[in-house]
Chains A and B, each alone.
Chain A
Amino acid sequence: MHLPRHGVRQKTRKLRGFSLIETLIGVVIVGLCVLAITGGINFCLSTLQSSRQWARSSDILLDMAERLSLVRWEVIEAETFPKEFTALLYPELLAENTNQPAGSVETSPRNQQLRDAAPSAPDSQTNKVEKINTVFRGFIELKPFLGTNNVGYNDHLRHALITVTWQNSSGRTLTNSLEVNLSRNNITDFQEHPAKAPPADLEWTPAPEVIQSLKEEKE
């Protein structure tokens, strides 16, 4: 029986496995791919967390601007109000170093849930809460009005610069700020006024009743 030589060679080639170097190169390529994918995922997640922090910082700034606009002009002029404040990424969660009421640590079910999920070492519980719950530290700076000096009402205006700083997951300190003008003859100049009353002919259905009737309709 005669077998063609090149056929045998082809069969032998098919039976050959990978050499050690080929395998190592394959493992390195796969490893690099996995590293690139996980690195990309990590980057996406940290960007997501960062965008959450920036959005929350904007909320805190707007919140404080609204609070400032509701303070009497005398208080703004004398600057007798506290200018430092803290706020949390998750307001219902508490870090130990914030000025929130201490009693709510026990009453918040979400806080308890997080503490239950944390590892058993005593310090790690607090650390986990603080790690997740970014603390924003804020400061209010009042300055004279930055407009033209020709106007005669500069004393009736104040320029407020509200700043919040926080640390991101990599430990970098970030800052966001908002500038607002406060005016004496605006809503800060108010007197205690009597409670208002709605128009006598105004009729409306209470919101819970509207929702209840909608549910009944669906059923």
Chain B
Amino acid sequence: MSIGIIAIFLSVVLTTHVIAQRSYLLIRDNDDLARQIRSTKIELEEALHTADMVLDAGDSPAYLTLLCGSGDSATNVISFIHDPEQETFFKITEETNVTPLLKNCEEISFKLLQRQYEPISTNTPALILPALLPHTLSSCQAVEFHWFCRKYRDEEKTRPSAEQSGRILVRLRN
């Protein structure tokens, strides 16, 4: 009888411990992802808001190269690139200065957009901006940035502990 009571008591304590541990991991990982994403958005918004034009962009791997500054002094080249192997999103300045911004990032995409020159129909579901025509990178006036990040609680990457995703649109300086 007493062994039974002790067993029940221990199982309750163990279950509570496991649940608490998993919840702690979940909260910690979510917080870590949120912190990384917040600083990445700040870096990206800062670069895009001061960008004169888009120099280069690609889908696989997703990358974006911006020319920042104004007029003739626009010589500051900043790149953002996602490395799918390392699952990391980098910021590159002056070629050698590579800063990892976002780790555990499975998907990143940049959608290059331009302003809406045609009248918008009231049947359009939202304020959708038209995509850029091919080979017109320098006409890009806004960039839609999408991310999907996931952290796992095991090394085999089978049990996710936190995942976050989002999409924002940031316009260039002009």
Contact = CB atoms under 8 A, between A and B. Distances in A.
Interface of A: 17, 23, 30, 34, 37-38, 41, 44-45, 48, 51-52, 55-56, 59, 62-64, 66-72, 74-75, 80-82, 85-86, 90-92, 99, 110, 187, 190, 192, 195-199, 202, 204-208, 210-211, 214
Interface string B126-143: 110100000010110110
Interface in B113-129: 115-117, 119-120, 122-127, 129
A204 B12 CA distance: 62
Contacts of A71: 115-116, 120, 127
25 contacts: A17-B2, A34-B16, A41-B20, A55-B34, A56-B166, A59-B166, A59-B168, A66-B170, A67-B129, A70-B141, A75-B120, A81-B124, A82-B127, A85-B125, A91-B146, A91-B167, A92-B148, A199-B74, A204-B79, A207-B79, A207-B81, A207-B92, A208-B58, A208-B63, A214-B98
Contacts of A56: 166
Given A91-B146, A206-B65, A82 B122 contact: yes
A92 B141 CA distance: 24
A80 B95 CA distance: 46
A70 B16 contact: no
A30 B12 contact: yes
A34 B83 contact: no
The list of the 4 closest CB pairs from A to B, nearest first, reads A207-B79, A99-B125, A85-B126, A67-B127
